[in-house]
Chains A and B, each alone.
Chain A
């Protein structure tokens, strides 16, 4: 048993729903109790889809348990076929149905439906959402795709995008265009937008572009083995990674087409003088392994931030993220325990969090700005505008999105100069977030509290001085001063210690 406040991933059947909802012509019959239908709202409300997910829930109740839940499943399966006439059906159980062991796969097989029925085994008490999506997509590919003759022109499949994916819609558009510029046709994009018939012809592509390893890697490996299709390893998030991705595609395809990079503005935006204030901003990264790895490179090499910590919630990527963290000289946090993430952020006192929807909660509590770089995401992370994370436009979007939560460069100076100014003060928050500015300091974040540290005592004048430092650097100043005091075996912090530490850490 594990106490959870917020979860980073849903159960595995939600992953299967993401695949089914992303695809067309596929229906998912899910053996599940009343209430599990909540998952529909993830798609209709959070992603604002205008159709119900293609999912039929058997909706069993307590009184059915002693009776015929298997019969209920078969009826639901038959009704779903009759009503929706899908090209193929996937069947499975949610966590409760797993316990009653009705074997939906076996039941559906005996029904003699005139379409392919693909059974799913998704262990609800061991695995999670990403596994569910990855495994479901793999099973569909395994059942439907067969070796085929390759297309005459060089083509590839784009693998991994699903419903409810973080910016999948726009990433696919961006990468499809990039591939087009390189002279490569996209054979099938899957699961998102594909029908079971499309899946059947995946084998005719020359190679695969794996955009989201979390939801597509097992299928990509299967295609490599079965159809002799190599797949890309670079995730094109950020300017540098996009160039690397282009190079990888050139290697795989032999394309020599020129790429027009005029649209890539991020590089100049980052070099322009207004961005100087971004230098060395201490950021903490958390999310799925793939997005965190990509974001680390952008944060350090393209934005000039200092990465003070990173981690991921999906254990499948623990090794990668640990290795990368080592390279960045920080410790990796591999956990799906929200409270532990919160504690780590509290200790590290970053100036900014690049995280998930969950880290927004943490940022709110600790008063630290947060931008979202990874699922899980919320309704505002499905923007109406074109807003990819990948490719050149993706790099531009990252620049804009990551600096938006911060106080603007020149405003930072005002806050340093006029600490008690009626307009520019700690409580006012960044000017461009006017609507959210608290009226009084009453709602000041937790880090405003008097410093508490087991090893050192803040003398009252030093404490007063600390409060004069603007809120967005105060956490850092406190942390630096305390570690400076600890290193020197001081047990008291005076105003002098504060400024000694400031001089020590000057950069």
Chain B
């Protein structure tokens, strides 16, 4: 019975580093299960839902089919937007016949859009499966439109297509498209890459400021006027684990990556900050002075929220690409054990530091054959399953507890002050099940 097991207090001992499970070599060199079959994931277009809120002067124009438009509104449908800053230029039969006409049509739609919405300063043309398959050259379109609307509007393009991108990779493709047009600098600066909620971004900037690090910029910036610059003396840190292309684009501009575990949970945030602190020669005293109080708060909040998670098992379906850092957080800070950690794809330069910390044991898997993975999940009967929206209710109906992964990209979860919220997010389905009196098996 879950309620009986919850009773003894577990928080205190876990609040010290010593109690964390032994890493036993971590998972970096663990064999990876790769399967190929039906993938139950969103395509990269989904990223538009949070990116358009982050960049307040941007509009995302998907060049695609009715399916793309339907995906966006189904994924965004959890909210009612009176003024969405995204839309779909839906390809019709006639567009498929002649590509030149398609370009003329696109120009016409963009003109209508920009005249209706003078507040748009950045326009992203977003490629889709059909536009990729018919080889509609959006790069050419973006160049042409940039010339037509500069300097008022900057037009960029990227692909959010399902044949090339998975869910959060859409943000990666978007940011990667922005990197080449960032102004060049010779100055030493730190660029933090990854879309975060404004409140979290401000906390992060506060911490970096507390460490005495100057000249910090954030990509994506909230508006086009923000001064993000890049050059050979730039170092960059990622706040999201799905930014592989952006990572490569930054390296091409001469910037250097500060590889670190991701700032999820107290431990992840501390590790992430300390890599930056080391780079900038921050003294131990200053580091402790800046991080002590928020670290203590984070541990306390995690300990409270994690009571329901302690000793429980977790199974990750590949979805948001946050799975490895989250597994590290849940196993090392919340007392859970991971059975399987599925990722859409694994990128050693980016995920290595988190894999190093993830205690050996779980099956690491890349890609998906959803039916086979469901078989493994049912066999394992984890206490908590992290999966996409399409699978959550059916698994609940089979008696499993689930956390749907899309919430992780819509909720502030990064850095110290959100560490407790992150644990709560996972604890809530278990607490709810206990409240509703459904016996956990």
A residues contacting B by CB (< 8 A) are: 1-7, 9-11, 13-14, 33-42, 44-46, 48-52, 56-62, 64-65, 76, 79, 83, 94-96, 99-100, 123-126, 128, 357, 360-361, 364-365, 378
Whether the Cβ atoms of B69 and A7 lie closer than 8 Å is: yes
Known: A44-B390, A45-B389. A83 touches B371 (CB 8 A): yes
Q: Which of B37, B46, B106, B392 contacts A59 (CB 8 A)?
A: B37
Q: Which of B45, B69, B133 contacts A35 (CB 8 A)?
A: B45
A-B pair number, CB within 8 angstroms:
187
**Chain A to chain B contacts (Cβ below 8 Å), 21 pairs:** A1-B90, A1-B92, A1-B108, A3-B61, A3-B88, A5-B84, A10-B66, A11-B70, A35-B129, A38-B390, A40-B390, A40-B391, A41-B389, A44-B394, A45-B392, A46-B77, A48-B393, A50-B396, A52-B390, A52-B394, A365-B83
Whether the Cβ atoms of B129 and A361 lie closer than 8 Å is: no
Contacts of A13 in B (CB 8 A): 67
8 A Cβ contacts from B38-69 to A: 38-46, 61, 63, 65-67, 69
With both beta carbons as reference points, the residue of chain B lying nearest to A14 in the complex is identified as B70
Which 3 A-B residue pairings sit nearest by Cβ, starting from the closest?
A: A35-B43, A35-B162, A40-B390
Known: A14-B70, A50-B394, A52-B391. A1 touches B109 (CB 8 A): yes
- Bound state CA distance, A406 and B37, in angstroms? 51
**B71 → chain A closest CB, angstroms:** 5
- Bound state CA distance, A83 and B371, in angstroms? 9
**B437 → chain A closest CB, angstroms:** 18
Known: A3-B109, A34-B43. A124 touches B66 (CB 8 A): yes
Contacts of B388 in A (CB 8 A): 41
Whether the Cβ atoms of A125 and B93 lie closer than 8 Å is: yes
Q: Which of A50, A360, A361 contacts B393 (CB 8 A)?
A: A50
- Bound state CA distance, A389 and B68, in angstroms? 31
- Bound state CA distance, A273 and B109, in angstroms? 52
Whether the Cβ atoms of A7 and B163 lie closer than 8 Å is: no
Contacts of B73 in A (CB 8 A): 6-7
**B172 → chain A closest CB, angstroms:** 15
Q: Which of A2, A44, A62 contacts B92 (CB 8 A)?
A: A2
Whether, in the assembled complex, B113 has its beta carbon less than 8 Å from a beta carbon of chain A, the answer is yes
Known: A59-B37, A125-B96, A361-B81. A38 touches B130 (CB 8 A): no
- Bound state CA distance, A36 and B166, in angstroms? 11
Whether, in the assembled complex, B258 has its beta carbon less than 8 Å from a beta carbon of chain A, the answer is no
- Bound state CA distance, A62 and B109, in angstroms? 27
Contacts of A123 in B (CB 8 A): 93
Whether the Cβ atoms of B41 and A51 lie closer than 8 Å is: no
Contacts of A39 in B (CB 8 A): 70, 74
With both beta carbons as reference points, the residue of chain B lying nearest to A13 in the complex is identified as B67
Known: A44-B393, A49-B393. A11 touches B66 (CB 8 A): yes
Known: A79-B371, A361-B80. A36 touches B67 (CB 8 A): yes
**B222 → chain A closest CB, angstroms:** 22
Whether the Cβ atoms of A33 and B43 lie closer than 8 Å is: yes
**A244 → chain B closest CB, angstroms:** 35
Whether, in the assembled complex, B251 has its beta carbon less than 8 Å from a beta carbon of chain A, the answer is no
Whether the Cβ atoms of B70 and A10 lie closer than 8 Å is: yes
Whether, in the assembled complex, B82 has its beta carbon less than 8 Å from a beta carbon of chain A, the answer is yes
Whether, in the assembled complex, B112 has its beta carbon less than 8 Å from a beta carbon of chain A, the answer is yes
With both beta carbons as reference points, the residue of chain A lying nearest to B390 in the complex is identified as A40
Q: Which of B69, B91, B390, B393 contacts A1 (CB 8 A)?
A: B91
**B126 → chain A closest CB, angstroms:** 13
Known: A6-B73, A33-B161, A35-B45. A124 touches B38 (CB 8 A): no
Whether the Cβ atoms of B39 and A34 lie closer than 8 Å is: yes
With both beta carbons as reference points, the residue of chain B lying nearest to A95 in the complex is identified as B65
Known: A44-B394, A62-B164, A378-B77. A95 touches B130 (CB 8 A): yes
8 A Cβ contacts from B6-55 to A: 37-46
Contacts of B61 in A (CB 8 A): 3
Whether the Cβ atoms of A364 and B70 lie closer than 8 Å is: no
Contacts of B63 in A (CB 8 A): 1
Contacts of B71 in A (CB 8 A): 35-36, 38
Whether the Cβ atoms of B82 and A95 lie closer than 8 Å is: no
With both beta carbons as reference points, the residue of chain B lying nearest to A378 in the complex is identified as B77
**A41 → chain B closest CB, angstroms:** 4
Whether the Cβ atoms of A124 and B109 lie closer than 8 Å is: no
Contact mask B224-263 → A, CB, 8 Å, 1/0?
Answer: 0000000000000000000000000000000000000000
Whether, in the assembled complex, B425 has its beta carbon less than 8 Å from a beta carbon of chain A, the answer is no
